[in-house]
Structure 1
């Protein structure tokens, strides 16, 4: 495991979460921040895992989020760690349903295996954000680099995204 990379991404994560002006007037306005928590399950390396994670984002301009997520896959024979910086644009011109699109990079660390990187995209909708809470539904597609010689069974994965977020 390359702990230097994990440390670098952790520092980026902290900078994103602390940067910018104090408070914006709307959920996705310039200066807003997002924090999220992940609880889920997944399967890899012939094992089932519990996935725990945290995320943070900052809006430097209206609708554009610079974010990062860290996920830990626990409970299998190998611990898996994922770090994903991302950029997402939310079309704030609409009221009740706001589409979003984004790009991401993912670095995956697995004990005793080589690290695996991926690039991807996401799309979906944010449903009626109110009082700082919002509900997102969408999908992510990622393409793993140098996958054929790795532990990954599939080089491209499409996964659903369902989340509740808090912005302030």
Structure 2
């Protein structure tokens, strides 16, 4: 039974593999939004790049800068995302990530990690838009806290 289920999942995976989520594809995306930290509001702009080493699985690198207030904040992100191979208009995804945040003195840099779920919609042969939810856990070495927030991104693939 387990072997049959595995073969069915593998078959579904290869049926959907053509396109945005196939081996060797590269996705580039951007995001823009607002956030607050240290009692200040920021405009957050980010860029990310992902590579698909296997069908439907991306590994990536992202950079975000927080503009409009002090202290200066910049982040790097290392995400891993799996796109569930279903023949639907929207492709569900689930992922995890590690992030390091650089903050201007006198504040200390900190790490965070978490997970995300959502849906990606292919808008053309080589572009997409994603909507999801992120749960992030922060740890600065002294305190640990978490929060959830919506995620919207768009990008292109080749």
| Band of TM-score, shorter chain | 0.7 to 0.9
Structure 1: 4+ residue segments shifted above 4 A: none
**TM-score normalised over the length of structure 1:** 0.78
Contact 1:100 1:123 in 2 (8 A): yes
Listed as ranges, the gaps of 5+ residues in structure 2 are 1-16
Shift of 1:75: 1.3
Q: How far apart in 1 are the matches of 2:61 and 2:103?
A: 19
Shift of 1:160: 0.4
Shift of 1:50: 1.3
Q: Which moved more, 1:118-127 or 1:37-46?
A: 37-46
Contact 2:29 2:47 in 1 (8 A): yes
Shift of 1:130: 2.8
Which residue of 93, 104, 107 corresponds with 1:111?
Answer: 104
- 1:48 equivalent to 2:45? Answer no
Report the 3-state secondary structure (helix = DSSP H, G, I; strand = E; otherwise coil) of the residue aligned with 1:155. strand
Aligned to 1:26: 19
Q: Larger C-alpha radius of gyration, 1 or 2?
A: 2
**TM-score normalised over the length of structure 2:** 0.82
Aligned to 2:148: 158
Q: How far apart in 1 are the matches of 2:120 and 2:141?
A: 32
Listed as ranges, the gaps of 5+ residues in structure 1 are 1-23
Which residue of 71, 76, 83 corresponds with 1:90?
Answer: 83
Which residue of 105, 116, 128 corresponds with 1:134?
Answer: 128
Cα RMSD of the aligned pairs, angstroms, is 1.8
Contact 2:34 2:44 in 1 (8 A): yes
Aligned to 2:13: none
Q: How far apart in 1 are the matches of 2:54 and 2:112?
A: 26
Report the 3-state secondary structure (helix = DSSP H, G, I; strand = E; otherwise coil) of the residue aligned with 1:159. strand
